[in-house]
């Protein structure tokens, strides 16, 4: 990416911050979808999935590169009367990750890889309303899931997976993440001021709501959010 183009995008991201924060706060206050939140103490079983050696290099920002506690989080929804199968849904979302994303909070830009659908090895920058970009790499892609890992410069360190499955006439969709803060500033905003935590909550619950609409059905029972916190030192 050309330096001038990169600078313009960064400036645009910062300028969107106040508007993005305002829209996020408004939507959060007027949310009607029930949110069921559970917070628990984590264990060694909450560590991130293993990465294939082929996708690991110095460009990744691993859990051990971050700071603060590990947060293992799962957002789960059930879509009733879907018109898409799990595979069709993931193919559609992978075709353009921006389709379910709230544009005031995150926009996906592909920076490495062929044009078109998301593939293993592709790299994206997630533009967010703040002084950070979110570079990620696709580290796994199956017919019904894809997983991203953070790269150097991301505000977090770890992985996040999106997956769907067909289950007794309904469609189950989950977003599961294993992350620590990427640096001390993001840790302050996340664990102390809770700013990033609430923006992240809005982003992924909105994503789940949009998935329900994209799949042609309706969410049954709202969004279930489970968070497990594991303090350092993290298990090897």
Q: Given this model, what pLDDT does residue 7 score?
A: 46
Q: Which domains does the chain have, with CATH numbers?
A: 3-48+56-230 (3.30.530.20)
Helices vs strands, H then E, count in the chain? 4, 10
Instruction: Give 56's Cβ-side CA count (13 Å radius).
Output: 9
Contact of 218 with 83, CB cutoff 8 Å: no
208-233: average pLDDT: 92
Candidates 197, 201, 178; CA nearest to 187 is 197
Rounded CA-CA distance 211/193 in Å is 29
Measured distance CA(159)–CA(142) in Å, rounded:
16
Give the whole-angstrom CA distance, residue 111 versus residue 78: 33
Most confident of 1-10, 147-156, 177-186: 147-156
What are the structure tokens assigned to 181, written together?
């803060």
**pLDDT value of position 101:** 86
**What is the residue whose two structure tokens read 């796994």?**
140
Tell me the β-bridge partners of 80.
218
Percent of the chain predicted with pLDDT > 90: 56
Output the pTM of the full model. 0.84
- Pairing relationship of beta strands 35-41 and 223-230 according to DSSP bridges: parallel
Mean pLDDT of the chain: 84
The mean pLDDT of 163-186, rounded to a whole number, is: 90
């Amino acid at each position: 990416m050309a330096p001038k183009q990169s600078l313009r995008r960064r400036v645009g991201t910062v300028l969107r911050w106040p508007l993005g924060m305002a829209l996020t706060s408004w939507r959060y206050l007027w949310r009607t979808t029930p949110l069921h939140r559970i917070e628990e103490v984590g264990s060694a079983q909450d560590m991130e999935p293993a990465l294939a050696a082929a996708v690991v290099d110095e460009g990744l920002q691993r859990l051990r590169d971050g700071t603060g506690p590990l947060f293992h989080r799962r957002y789960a929804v059930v879509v009733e009367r879907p018109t898409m199968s799990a595979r069709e849904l993931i193919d559609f979302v992978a075709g353009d990750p921006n389709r379910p994303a709230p544009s005031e909070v995150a926009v996906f830009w592909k920076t490495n890889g062929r044009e078109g659908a998301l593939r293993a090895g592709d790299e994206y920058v997630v533009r967010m309303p703040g002084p950070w970009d979110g570079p990620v790499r696709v580290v796994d892609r199956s017919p019904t899931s894809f997983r991203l890992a953070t790269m150097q410069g991301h505000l977090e360190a770890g992985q996040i997976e999106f997956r769907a499955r067909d289950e007794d006439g309904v469609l189950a969709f989950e977003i599961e993440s294993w992350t620590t803060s990427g640096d001390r500033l993001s840790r302050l905003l996340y664990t102390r001021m809770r700013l990033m935590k609430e923006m992240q909550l809005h982003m992924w619950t909105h994503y789940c709501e949009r998935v329900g609409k994209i799949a042609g059905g309706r969410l049954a029972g709202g969004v279930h959010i489970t968070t497990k916190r594991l303090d350092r030192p993290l298990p090897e």
